[in-house]
Structure 1
C-alpha cells in the first residue's frame, strides 16, 4: 500500500502518493511487494503530518490470488511533541464486481508508538471504482484518549485519475471529513497531482493541497515512490 491524501490505496490498485488514480483489480497471483518513497511534506486529508517537513516512507504488502491483502506502512511525522513516526497495519479484500466495477474493503489501524499519550485509532474503509472514477469512505471504529479522530468520525471522497502521454498521469480528489461531535468543524479538502512514471527509477509527482476551513492556503509538495 502507498498512502494518498484519502485513505490507503492497495498495491492491487497501485497509485503513488501523488497519482491518486484509485481503483481495484484482482492480482494475478499471490505475491509479496514493497514500496519506498520520499515526499517534501507528508499530507493526509488536507494537512501536513510532518509539519511541512520532508518524510521518508515505505511499506510491505502481501496479496493473495483471492483478492485478500495485508500489510504495513510507515512514515516519520511531526506533531510538535515527541511523536516521531506513524506505523499503519491493514488488511482487506479487493477485486472486480463485473462490468468494470472494482471494489476494495478493509480495516486499517493507525499507530503512533512513541506518542506521549495513546494516539492510535482504527478505521474500516470501502471504495468502488469504475474506469477513471472512484468513490470511497472510511469510518472510525476504535480510538484512544489522544487520537486525532474518534469513534464515528467519517471521511468520504471522490477521485478521478487518468493517463496522459509519455507515462504522465493526472489525479484529482475531493474529500470531506465529518466529525461526530459539533465541537469540531467539518471540512473539505482538495488534492491535485501530476505524476511521471519511469521504467526503473519509480514515479515522480507534483501535488497541490487545499482545505477550505482552517488556514485555507494552497500548498504544494513533491514526491518520489518506487515499488519492487
Structure 2
C-alpha cells in the first residue's frame, strides 16, 4: 500500500507543472455490482470519487463504497493512476493501475490490478488482469465489450458483455451481461440496467441473481 501511495504522489508531483482538472462524484445505487456480482448482498450503496486529470493524459484518483458480504466487511476504497490519449478522431485508449483495498476487514484481500481500454466510436473493449486476485495467489482476468448508442442527446442505450476467467475462477469462469439506459437531468447522471450472469446461484447467493440496478450520481 505504501508503494502505491508513494507512486501516486510521485506521479502527481511530476505532472504538477501541467494544468490539472480536479473533480469529484457522489452517487447512490440500489445494488453495488462488480462484474455481475453483488458487493452489498443485494443492498444499496453510497459511493464517491475524487479525481485529478492532467493535460498530458495522466490521471489519478480514489473511489469508495460501502460493501457487505454478510461478514465484517463494510467498506472498499480503491486507488488508481493511469494514462489515456487519442489515436485519431475515432480511436482512443487508456491504461491504469488500480489497487483495491478493504480497510478494517478481518482478512487481507487487498490486491493490485492492471486495466486497459480501447475505444472506437460507441464501442469500448476493456481488459483487466490481477496476478494475485483478492490476495489468493491465483490470477484473474476479465474482458468486456460495451456499446452505447445515443437515442437522444440526453439518453443512451447501453449494452454490456463481460467474461471472467483464469485460475481464480477455475471450474466456473462466468459471463455477465447488462442492458440499460443512461442519461442526465437536473445536473444528475441517471442510469437503470437489467443485469444477468451465468453464475450458478447455488455457489454464491441470491443477490447474484438477475436484477435491475438503479444509479444516480452528481459530479462537481
Question: Could you state the TM-score of these two structures normalised by the residue count of structure 1?
Answer: 0.81
- Larger Cα Rg: Structure 1 or Structure 2? 2
Q: Does residue 135 in structure 1 map to residue 121 in structure 2?
A: no
SS for the counterpart of 1:63 is: strand
CA distance, structure 2, for counterparts of residue 171 and residue 119 of structure 1: 31
CA distance, structure 2, for counterparts of residue 183 and residue 222 of structure 1: 31
The Cα shift of 1:151 comes to 4.2
User: Please, what is the CA RMSD of the aligned residues?
Assistant: 1.9
The Cα shift of 1:143 comes to 4.5
Q: Note closer, same or farther for the CA distance 1:52–1:96 as it changes in structure 2 (3 Å cut).
A: same
Q: Does residue 170 in structure 1 map to residue 165 in structure 2?
A: no
Q: Does residue 206 in structure 1 map to residue 192 in structure 2?
A: yes
1:79 corresponding residue in structure 2: 69
2:8 corresponding residue in structure 1: none
Q: Does residue 188 in structure 1 map to residue 175 in structure 2?
A: yes
Contact 1:143/1:151 (<8 A) preserved: yes
CA distance, structure 1, for counterparts of residue 153 and residue 170 of structure 2: 48
2:146 corresponding residue in structure 1: 159
The Cα shift of 1:179 comes to 2.4
Question: Could you state the TM-score of these two structures normalised by the residue count of structure 2?
Answer: 0.84
Higher relative contact order (CA 8 A, sep 6+): 1
- 1:58-77 → structure 2 map (5 Å cutoff): 58-77=48-67
Contact 1:124/1:141 (<8 A) preserved: no
The Cα shift of 1:75 comes to 0.2
Q: Which moved more, 1:104-113 or 1:181-190?
A: 181-190
Contact 1:179/1:185 (<8 A) preserved: no
Contact 1:37/1:225 (<8 A) preserved: yes
The Cα shift of 1:210 comes to 0.5
More helix by share: 2
1:218 corresponding residue in structure 2: 210
Query: Structure 1 regions of 5+ residues with no counterpart?
Result: 1-28
SS for the counterpart of 2:117 is: strand
CA distance, structure 2, for counterparts of residue 192 and residue 122 of structure 1: 29
Q: Does residue 44 in structure 1 map to residue 31 in structure 2?
A: no
Contact 2:147/2:159 (<8 A) preserved: yes
CA distance, structure 1, for counterparts of residue 60 and residue 88 of structure 2: 23
SS for the counterpart of 1:98 is: coil
